[in-house]
Structure formats: C-alpha cells, structure tokens
C-alpha cells in the first residue's frame, strides 16, 4: 500500500498527511483580523440599506395597508391579515416598516 503524500499548510509551512484535519493557529489569527474589518464593512452596509429602506416611497401594498389601518384605528393583526391577501411574514415586515417611519402606532 502506498503512503499518502504530505501536503504543506499555506499558513504555517508545516507538512501534514491530512491537511483538512490540521487546525492552524496562524490561519485563525490571520482570518480573524480580516473578519473584524469585514464585520465593520457589513455593519456599515446594513445601516446604509436600512436608511435606503426607510427613505424610499411606499409601494402599493404598503399604501393599501396604511389606508386600512387609518380607516380602522384599532385593528388586530389577524383581522388585517384577513382583509389583505398578503403572506404573514411579508405583512409583518410592512407593519414594522410603517411603525419605524412613524406612520402607525403598534
């Protein structure tokens, strides 16, 4: 039976028979520095996306929900769901958006 060739770790330079099982501490340190910067970038992107979401105009469904809520001051979520043919999750997101914009009180 032939021996398996050793593979070299690109981070620490050592040779291992099974490189996939190798837990390289150098790799962890190098990747953690990158992760911190990318986490900051991702957080910044999420903030920018949220700002765009809050400043955009309302779409047709959101306007319809807002009109129904304005007509019926105290309406329950389930009653609103029966009046509008929209999925529960999507309706919940729309209500959250309207509440964040200050259009409705939850």
pLDDT of the residue at 38? 78
pLDDT of the residue at 37? 64
Split into its structural domains, the chain has a count of: 2
pLDDT of the residue at 27? 62
Instruction: Dihedral sign for Cα 67, 68, 71, 75, please.
Output: negative
Residue 15 CA from chain centroid, whole number: 39
Q: Both 40 and 64 in a single domain?
A: no
Domain of 96, in residue numbers:
60-100
pLDDT of the residue at 1? 56
Residues of the chain scoring pLDDT < 50: none
pLDDT of the residue at 31? 59
Q: Which pTM value belongs to this model?
A: 0.50
Q: Both 52 and 72 in a single domain?
A: no
**CA gap 23, 14 in Å, rounded:** 12
φ, ψ for residue 101, nearest 5 deg: -80, -10
pLDDT of the residue at 11? 77
Using an 8 Å Cβ cutoff, are 11 and 27 in contact? yes
Is 33 a member of any domain? Answer: yes
pLDDT of the residue at 77? 84
Is 6 a member of any domain? Answer: no
Q: Both 91 and 67 in a single domain?
A: yes
Q: Helix, strand, or coil here: 52? A: helix
**CA gap 94, 90 in Å, rounded:** 6
Q: Both 72 and 96 in a single domain?
A: yes
Is 72 a member of any domain? Answer: yes
Is 10 a member of any domain? Answer: no
pLDDT of the residue at 75? 85
């Amino acid at each position: 039976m032939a021996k398996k060739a050793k593979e070299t770790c690109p981070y620490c330079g050592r040779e291992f028979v099974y490189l996939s099982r190798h837990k390289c501490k150098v790799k962890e340190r190098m990747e953690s520095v990158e992760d911190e910067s990318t986490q900051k970038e991702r957080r910044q992107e999420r903030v920018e996306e949220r700002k765009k979401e809050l400043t955009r105009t309302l779409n047709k469904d959101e306007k319809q929900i807002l009109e129904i809520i304005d007509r019926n001051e105290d309406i329950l979520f389930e009653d609103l769901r029966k009046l509008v043919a929209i999925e529960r999750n999507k309706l919940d997101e729309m209500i959250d958006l309207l509440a964040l914009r200050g259009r409705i009180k939850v």
